[in-house]
């Protein structure tokens, strides 16, 4: 007979994978809005390179960490290599810096118009 | 079976039903996730997407590790730093967006697409004409009713 701990593990795993599956399904079928996720918000509708690099860095870091967890037998969460932290920090920094620059540039143009 | 085991099974049943209910409500759209990644202006947010991915990855990893070792593991500083980077990106991006609400909502300088602007102008003109026709009709009805009241 299953113990309560085993049942709880099964429930937690099923819930998390079920939730991830539903979110992934809704993302792929367009039920969760992804409109404009890779486009600049300055009204030009152009594809944004800094968003693409952030997406790629995010997916790469997530896949790398999941692989490390799958290979880990130590019973602890594996640490993340500093190089990956630099990649994520740099990637996020580029995204935020460009967002700030484009927003304040648009604000400046608005101020000049008015 | 002891009282502790009975309580354990009742707890398992409660948590299982709670999880199933949440998943069912999400699946049937009674819990609406369509705006999960959307900003106030309706566009999807890259930083929200990043936070969503990392949250799932860490949560699934944690459950698997806890199940294999049956104790709550220490969270490495690298993982905390990664989540911190992700959450900070989201928070700073949000701060930048909300510092200029007109630009975020796209109300600052109109649209850069001339055809969209023309369509909006035509739509507004059609609404104005319709309102004018309604006003004329109402005035006519009022004129007809007035002599009867006098």
User: What is the tens place of the pLDDT at every residue in A7-34?
Assistant: 888 899 999 999 999 999 999 999 999 9
Percent of chain A with pLDDT strictly greater than 70: 97
The residue among B113 and A41 whose pLDDT is bigger is A41
A42 has pLDDT over 80: no
Q: Do A103 and B100 touch (CB under 8 A)?
A: yes
Q: How confident is the model at residue A47 (pLDDT cuts 50, 70, 90)?
A: confident
Range of the domain at A24: 1-34
Tell me the pLDDT of chain B (150 aa) as tens digits. 788 888 989 999 999 999 999 999 999 999 999 999 988 778 888 888 998 998 899 898 888 888 877 788 888 899 999 989 999 998 998 888 787 766 666 554 444 455 655 665 676 677 677 778 777 777 787 777 665 555
Residues A87 and A47 in one domain: yes
Comparing CB atoms, the residue among B11, B73, B103 nearest residue A77 is B73
Residues of chain A neighbouring B63 (CB-CB closer than 8 A):
9, 12-13, 16
pLDDT number for residue B110? 42
Residues of chain A neighbouring B28 (CB-CB closer than 8 A):
none
Give the mean model confidence (pLDDT) for residues A86-93. 93
Residues A72 and A96 in one domain: yes
Whole-angstrom distance, CA of residue B121 vs CA of residue A86: 49
Q: Is B85 on the interface with A (CB under 8 A)?
A: yes
Q: Do A33 and B108 touch (CB under 8 A)?
A: no
DSSP state, residue B107: -
pLDDT number for residue A17? 93
CA A52-B54-B60 angle, 5° bins:
140
Listed residue (B76, B66, B124) closest to A12, CA to CA:
B66
Q: What ipTM is given for this predicted complex? A: 0.85
Backbone φ/ψ region at B98: left (φ over 0), alpha (ψ -120 to 50), beta: alpha
Residues A67 and A95 in one domain: yes
Residues A18 and A52 in one domain: no
The total of structural domains in chain A comes to 2
The residue among B97 and A60 whose pLDDT is bigger is A60
- Asked whether A41 and A98 are in contact (CB, 8 A), the reply is no
CA A33-B28-B43 angle, 5° bins:
10
pLDDT number for residue B109? 42
Residues A46 and A85 in one domain: yes
Residues A52 and A18 in one domain: no
Residue by residue, DSSP assigns A3-62 as -HHHHHHHHHHHHHHHHHHHHHHHHHTTSS--TTTTB-SSSS-PBPHHHHHHHHHHHHHH
Q: Do A37 and B92 touch (CB under 8 A)?
A: no
Whole-angstrom distance, CA of residue B139 vs CA of residue B136: 5
Residues A21 and A45 in one domain: no
Q: How confident is the model at residue A5 (pLDDT cuts 50, 70, 90)?
A: confident
Comparing CB atoms, the residue among B82, B97, B108 nearest residue A80 is B82
Residues A43 and A80 in one domain: yes
Q: Is B28 on the interface with A (CB under 8 A)?
A: no
Mean per-residue pLDDT of chain A: 88
Give the mean model confidence (pLDDT) for residues A31-57. 86
What are the structural domain ranges in chain B?
Answer: 1-33, 35-106
């Amino acid at each position: 007979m299953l113990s309560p701990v085993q049942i709880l593990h099964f429930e937690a795993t099923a819930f998390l994978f079920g939730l991830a599956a539903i979110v992934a399904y809704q993302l792929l079928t367009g039920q969760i809005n992804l409109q404009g996720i890779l486009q600049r918000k300055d009204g030009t509708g152009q594809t944004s390179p800094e968003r693409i690099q952030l997406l790629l860095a995010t997916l790469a870091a997530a896949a790398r960490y999941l692989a490390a967890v799958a290979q880990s037998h130590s019973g602890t969460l594996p640490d993340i290599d500093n190089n990956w932290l630099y990649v994520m920090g740099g990637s996020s920094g580029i995204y935020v810096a460009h967002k700030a620059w484009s927003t304040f540039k648009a604000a400046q143009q608005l101020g000049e118009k008015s | 079976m002891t009282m502790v085991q009975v309580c354990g099974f009742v707890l398992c049943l409660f948590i299982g039903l709670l999880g199933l209910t949440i998943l069912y409500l999400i699946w049937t759209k009674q819990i609406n996730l369509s705006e999960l990644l959307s900003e106030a202006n309706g566009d999807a947010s890259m930083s929200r997407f990043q936070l969503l991915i990392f949250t799932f990855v860490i949560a699934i990893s944690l459950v698997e590790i806890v199940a294999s070792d049956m104790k709550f593991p220490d969270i490495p500083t690298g993982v905390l730093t990664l989540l911190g980077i992700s959450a900070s990106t989201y928070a700073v991006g949000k701060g930048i967006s909300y510092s200029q609400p007109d630009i975020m909502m796209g109300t600052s300088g109109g649209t850069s697409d001339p055809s969209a602007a023309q369509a909006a102008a035509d739509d507004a003109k059609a609404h104005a004409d319709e309102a004018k026709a309604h006003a004329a009709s109402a005035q006519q009805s009022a004129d007809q009713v007035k002599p009867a009241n006098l």
